[in-house]
Structure 1
């Protein structure tokens, strides 16, 4: 309380209590003035409650039992006020009474010189009270599945992760903590895209769906766009969207490399970001070319929730499998075996392989070999997506998409000359 050095300590505390409790009372007074229903307290009642909390703490010398008894007596009084409100108006809101208890605790916290906590408690209470309409509207927009999804993320990151041992196990040097950390990070990146898709669904058009979907899964986005290109004649629009989604893939990989292996990041992040941005720019410019047909409204597609426990466990198994396979291939088949594995994983799922490389680079796999394998896997993945687009799209959109993705794969492979 250096701002009140000219006052005695207790006087400064009382001024602080009055200030904070008056803010709560002022908010309640305004709410009461705009509402004809019975409301408890205002600009006088709440400061008195705050002073009561401070006085009981001071008289008891900070004894917790006395403060708890005071809290219980106040709670009983507020219960009577709440009962009166129910009988007189039938309104069952309890926020004013809870604010009274909060104000009492704030007074006790100021006595203990927990000024930051007392201020944070007061500000949080005022925000919760003042933003009532906005918070209630938000609650109406949030679905039960979204709450379950966020709880799943907390389970993955805050419950399971700290329990895992952070040490190398088995002959393959598997670290359970780092393995699950990779699962959480990849799931979080995909979940960010998933949330954006949920928020923007039906808005922003096809290109925004391609941009956001590429951060989730460029392969899934390519398949969805390819199938929908059969519904109209907007070949340039759909093939440009496919290229944008694959460009975002390179940005996504650069982010994951930055999180888990700085050596690989220094080697690949800059060329991957440049390649991704160029692909996105070309895709956007190509999509703006005129087509004969008229674009239809594209119904939003719902990707699988990346934070489902089954999806997380599957990725963990694939990641561990890639670590084991990479070690076995490196020992028995050498560099050529690693590159072959990279090509095959580009056909199946590139994320577990790339994340496996981040863990084995510079230890089991030489850094240039790991960087080359990631480039090969990304190029292989682009070529497979090009085949998907050619098979599933309309004829013109499929040919354009395949040419773009094969070209992107070739540009990616050109990066190999800079690693030598």
Structure 2
């Protein structure tokens, strides 16, 4: 087409097409809502063509192009003034889209075709997803937004300026330390957001999956407590097993992020453990009436926000402690001491310990010893979660959960025979 049709013609066609899409969406919105809105299927293509023409006449000077933008902006201002005079609720979305259409025409003239197309597509998505985005905003509290803003400040502003070099005899790297905190919190926060989005929707399996990505221990305790108010045990014990299966996917992702060589040692086995736990847990959970599964889902609470800054700093502190503890254990007690420490760490949050191992594997400890320690820590954590389930749930659910998690823990230790 470029060989037979002049480039200027193709650009004009692109401007018309992109601005026509915006006009079509606005025309549809006016017909459905019955409310006043500036322009429609003819006006927006004209605005786009005016933007292209002004960019062409400007001869790469900004003043004429800016003057055209001010003229279009004045029309948008008059439209908004009319809107606030005739309606109690007046938004600026249509006026902003009009200004965007003008800019799209200018961008196409300057061969910024990708940016122009992206602006139009993004605008259409924002316009069409209005109700979805507004309902989503109501699911988050101001505290959640404030916490996320602080997290972005520490991630996007503070993280880049931290020194990316090792300090002291333990070779602690401030940048990598905080990067690990960001990675762990980011995965947990993604699960937190999905739980918000799917709140009061989906079944117990979905809750177990999202909760396992957040924290399998927290999910185990939450489901165990919920089981005391229900006569059925299979969905809860199956959900607890699923959450522990998701834990292996989560650990595999984190290990591969910070030590790919160590990840090669564990990813396949962790994947098999995860698939086995999720498959058996899903089958176990299905031994219950669907209607009761839905009522269980309505009662399950969302996990607490994982981006609280105190929790992030505490995780960083624990990570540094684990690096120091692992260093001395491996140095003076060897493999048996490290395995003993791994078993003890299963009682607590195993993320700091396992991520501490990723920093020493291949240097202070061999990959085989590091892999064994991680396997022991994960199995120990599964055993502890089984005990938690036995304590916090009814007797039947607790017994089933303990049995299933003990079996998963034993399966997790099989590779130790080959280390």
Q: TM-score range with shorter-chain normalisation?
A: 0.7 to 0.9
What are the ranges of 5 or more consecutive residues in structure 1 without an aligned counterpart?
none
> 3-state SS of the aligned residue for 2:39?
coil
Aligned residue number for residue 254 of structure 1 = 252
Map 1:187-226 to 2 at 5 A. Answer: 187-226=185-224
Q: Is the 8 A contact 1:54 1:107 kept in 2?
A: yes
> 3-state SS of the aligned residue for 1:222?
helix
User: What's the offset of the Cα at 1:206?
Assistant: 3.5
Aligned residue number for residue 369 of structure 2 = 369
User: What's the offset of the Cα at 1:149?
Assistant: 5.1
Greater shift, 122-131 or 375-384, is seen at 122-131
Residue 359, structure 1, aligned to residue 359, structure 2 = yes
Aligned residue number for residue 109 of structure 2 = 111
> 3-state SS of the aligned residue for 2:310?
helix
- Structure 2 vs 1, CA of residues 128 and 303 (structure 1 numbering), >3 Å: closer, same or farther? closer
Matches of 2:165 and 2:320 in 1, distance apart?
15
User: What's the offset of the Cα at 1:373?
Assistant: 0.8
Q: TM-score, normalised by structure 2?
A: 0.87
Q: Is the 8 A contact 1:191 1:216 kept in 2?
A: yes
Map 1:361-400 to 2 at 5 A. Answer: 361-400=361-400
Aligned residue number for residue 332 of structure 1 = 332
Q: Is the 8 A contact 1:232 1:296 kept in 2?
A: no
Aligned residue number for residue 27 of structure 2 = 29
Q: Is the 8 A contact 2:380 2:409 kept in 1?
A: yes
Matches of 1:242 and 1:140 in 2, distance apart?
30
User: What's the offset of the Cα at 1:10?
Assistant: 4.0
User: What's the offset of the Cα at 1:9?
Assistant: 4.5
> 3-state SS of the aligned residue for 2:228?
helix
User: What's the offset of the Cα at 1:321?
Assistant: 1.2
Q: Is the 8 A contact 1:232 1:295 kept in 2?
A: no
Q: Is the 8 A contact 2:255 2:263 kept in 1?
A: yes
- Structure 2 vs 1, CA of residues 69 and 370 (structure 1 numbering), >3 Å: closer, same or farther? same
- Structure 2 vs 1, CA of residues 218 and 98 (structure 1 numbering), >3 Å: closer, same or farther? closer
Aligned residue number for residue 414 of structure 1 = 414
Aligned residue number for residue 45 of structure 2 = 47
Aligned residue number for residue 97 of structure 1 = 95
RMSD value, Cα: 2.9
Matches of 1:347 and 1:382 in 2, distance apart?
9
Matches of 1:91 and 1:238 in 2, distance apart?
47
Map 1:314-329 to 2 at 5 A. Answer: 314-329=314-329
Greater shift, 154-163 or 99-108, is seen at 154-163
Aligned residue number for residue 404 of structure 2 = 404
Matches of 1:360 and 1:209 in 2, distance apart?
35
Map 1:145-164 to 2 at 5 A. Answer: 145-148=143-146, 150-164=148-162
Aligned residue pairs, count:
415
Q: Is the 8 A contact 2:166 2:173 kept in 1?
A: yes
Greater shift, 174-183 or 18-27, is seen at 18-27
User: What's the offset of the Cα at 1:345?
Assistant: 1.0
Deviation by residue 1:52-78 (Cα, 9 ceiling, x = unmatched): 323332223111133223322332233
- Structure 2 vs 1, CA of residues 89 and 340 (structure 1 numbering), >3 Å: closer, same or farther? closer
- Structure 2 vs 1, CA of residues 64 and 383 (structure 1 numbering), >3 Å: closer, same or farther? same
User: What's the offset of the Cα at 1:150?
Assistant: 4.4
What are the ranges of 5 or more consecutive residues in structure 2 without an aligned counterpart?
none
Matches of 1:46 and 1:276 in 2, distance apart?
52
Aligned residue number for residue 174 of structure 1 = 172
Q: Is the 8 A contact 2:15 2:49 kept in 1?
A: yes
Deviation by residue 1:73-97 (Cα, 9 ceiling, x = unmatched): 3322332333234335666233332
Q: Is the 8 A contact 2:147 2:309 kept in 1?
A: no
Matches of 2:417 and 2:287 in 1, distance apart?
33
User: What's the offset of the Cα at 1:7?
Assistant: 4.3
Deviation by residue 1:140-185 (Cα, 9 ceiling, x = unmatched): 4554455445435533443332222222122211122221221121
> 3-state SS of the aligned residue for 1:297?
helix
Matches of 1:319 and 1:261 in 2, distance apart?
15
Q: Is the 8 A contact 1:233 1:295 kept in 2?
A: no
> 3-state SS of the aligned residue for 2:345?
helix
User: What's the offset of the Cα at 1:35?
Assistant: 5.4
User: What's the offset of the Cα at 1:353?
Assistant: 0.5
Deviation by residue 1:169-226 (Cα, 9 ceiling, x = unmatched): 2221112222122112111222232233333344444444333322222222222233
Matches of 1:87 and 1:144 in 2, distance apart?
31
Deviation by residue 1:362-419 (Cα, 9 ceiling, x = unmatched): 0111111111111111122122223223333323333333233333323322220122
